């Protein structure tokens, strides 16, 4: 509708211009008529010209807005792709760091160890367990499980290539331990709440917050020298023993892999010195009977 109105106005302006030219050609005395027509038509022409320019500007703005929307969508997509790449690079960096720790890590016993992936973790109940996937490990019950930071637990069930691991924070778990600074031995127990307690240390024992606690090797399962945790607090009461709380050396909530320790067997020369079953005593034969 606006375009049709604008077209009629342009036609009217052209007719008025033709009339002005005709009056000029007829001779003198037309200046007053020409001036009057100019006063009437000039404002109209200005409005029409402005309207046409405004319509063109609106169209240009719409085209620019559409182009900006397309560019904005492209930038959003590029930003999303970059964010995903950053996430992948961070994950790769974490994996490289873990592999570097694995390459440079030597178990304190010098035994063989196999890397295993954590496929399940139960931290919600009193029974704290992991399930490991270890296709290259020779799995056995009571194998020690650890990381480069410290002790994790022990294998309690094997379904090759999977192993169920009891964490040291489990309520039923216990580990022979000693305070590294004083060599005082005790027993570390799980509380089922993610914490540890060091028990059977007499009240006169020298124990301080910050003392490091490692495995003592006296339980027959865990080799000596594996970090267990750090003394967080010491409570002295009316009991004969300290009540010592430990902060675990391992952050069990971030585990995605662990090491299963394959301890070397007992050397043959040691086995050869172990006496076998006792032989039954020999009974001497009776003497022959004397003849008649």
pLDDT-derived band of residue 271, with 50, 70 and 90 as boundaries? Answer: very low
- 124 and 229 together in one domain: yes
Per the confidence metrics, is the pTM higher than 0.85?
A: no
Cα–Cα distance for residue pair 21/86, rounded to 1 Å: 75
pLDDT at position 180 over 50: yes
List the single range of 87-96, 195-204, 262-271 with lowest mean pLDDT.
262-271
Can you read off the two tokens belonging to residue 119? 């496929």
pLDDT at position 214 over 90: yes
- 203 and 248 together in one domain: yes
Cα–Cα distance for residue pair 133/165, rounded to 1 Å: 11
- 158 and 233 together in one domain: yes
Question: Which one, of 119, 112, 178, 179, lies nearest residue 146 by Cα?
Answer: 112
- 117 and 214 together in one domain: yes
**Containing structural domain, residue 95:** 1-104
Long-range contacts of 38-41 (CB under 8 A, 24+ apart): 41/13, 41/16
Residue predicted with more confidence, 18 or 266: 18
Give the phi and the psi of residue 197 in degrees, each rounded to 5. Answer: -130, 135
Where is mean pLDDT largest: 40-44, 69-73, 123-127?
A: 69-73
Mean pLDDT, the chain, whole residue set:
75
Residue with tokens 């009977």: 289
Q: pLDDT value at position 266?
A: 46
Q: What angle do CA 183, 150, 122 make, to 5 degrees?
A: 125
Cα–Cα distance for residue pair 162/38, rounded to 1 Å: 99
Contact call for residues 195 and 184 (beta carbons, < 8 A): no
pLDDT-derived band of residue 173, with 50, 70 and 90 as boundaries? Answer: very high
Contact call for residues 244 and 198 (beta carbons, < 8 A): yes
pLDDT at position 248 over 60: yes
Number of domains forming the structure of the chain = 2
Mean pLDDT computed over 110-130: 79
pLDDT-derived band of residue 235, with 50, 70 and 90 as boundaries? Answer: confident
Q: pLDDT value at position 85?
A: 76
- 148 and 230 together in one domain: yes
Q: What is the crossing angle of helices 31-103 and 2-26, to 10°?
A: 140
Task: Give per-residue pLDDT as tens, 60-69.
Answer: 777 888 888 8
- 253 and 184 together in one domain: yes
Last residue of a domain, one of 58, 76, 104: 104
Q: Three-state SS for 166?
A: strand
Tell me, yes or no, whether 229 lies in a domain: yes
Q: pLDDT value at position 63?
A: 80
Residue predicted with more confidence, 234 or 5: 234
Contact call for residues 214 and 102 (beta carbons, < 8 A): no
Please confirm whether the linkage preceding 161 is cis (ω < 30° from 0): yes
- 80 and 171 together in one domain: no
Mean pLDDT computed over 97-109: 57
- 81 and 144 together in one domain: no
Q: Domain of 159: which CATH number?
A: 2.40.10.350
pLDDT at position 91 over 90: no
Q: pLDDT value at position 183?
A: 92
- 117 and 243 together in one domain: yes
Mean pLDDT computed over 205-220: 89
First CA to last CA distance, the chain: 158
Can you read off the two tokens belonging to residue 146? 């650890």
- 145 and 201 together in one domain: yes
DSSP H or E segment with residue 36: helix 31-103
- 94 and 232 together in one domain: no
Last residue of a domain, one of 84, 104, 124: 104
Residue with tokens 């590294």: 180
- 100 and 116 together in one domain: no
Mean pLDDT computed over 236-249: 83
């Amino acid at each position: 509708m606006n375009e049709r109105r604008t077209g009629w106005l342009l036609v009217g302006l052209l007719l008025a211009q033709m009339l002005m030219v005709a009056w000029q050609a007829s001779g003198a005395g037309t200046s007053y008529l020409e001036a009057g027509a100019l006063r009437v038509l000039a404002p109209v022409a200005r409005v029409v010209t402005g309207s046409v320019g405004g319509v063109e500007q609106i169209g240009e703005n719409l085209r620019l807005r559409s182009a900006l929307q397309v560019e904005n969508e492209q930038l959003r997509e590029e930003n999303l792709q970059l964010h995903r790449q950053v996430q992948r690079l961070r994950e790769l960096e974490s994996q490289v760091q873990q592999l570097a720790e694995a390459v440079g890590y030597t178990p304190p016993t010098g035994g063989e160890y196999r890397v295993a992936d954590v496929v399940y973790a139960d931290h919600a109940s009193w029974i704290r367990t992991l399930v490991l996937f270890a296709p290259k490990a020779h799995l056995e019950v009571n194998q020690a499980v650890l990381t480069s930071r410290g002790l994790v637990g022990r294998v309690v069930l094997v379904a090759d290539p999977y192993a169920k691991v009891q964490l040291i924070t489990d309520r039923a778990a216990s580990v022979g331990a000693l305070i590294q600074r004083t060599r005082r031995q005790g027993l570390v127990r799980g509380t089922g709440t993610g914490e540890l307690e060091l028990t059977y240390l007499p009240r006169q024992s020298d124990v301080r917050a910050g003392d490091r606690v490692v495995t003592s090797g006296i339980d027959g399962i865990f080799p000596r020298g594996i970090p267990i945790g750090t003394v967080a607090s010491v409570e002295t009461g009316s009991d004969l023993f300290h009540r010592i709380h430990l902060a675990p050396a391992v952050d069990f909530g971030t585990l995605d892999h662990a090491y299963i320790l394959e301890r070397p067997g007992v050397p043959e020369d040691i086995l050869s010195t172990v006496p076998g079953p006792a032989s039954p005593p020999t009974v001497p034969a009776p003497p022959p009977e004397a003849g008649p």
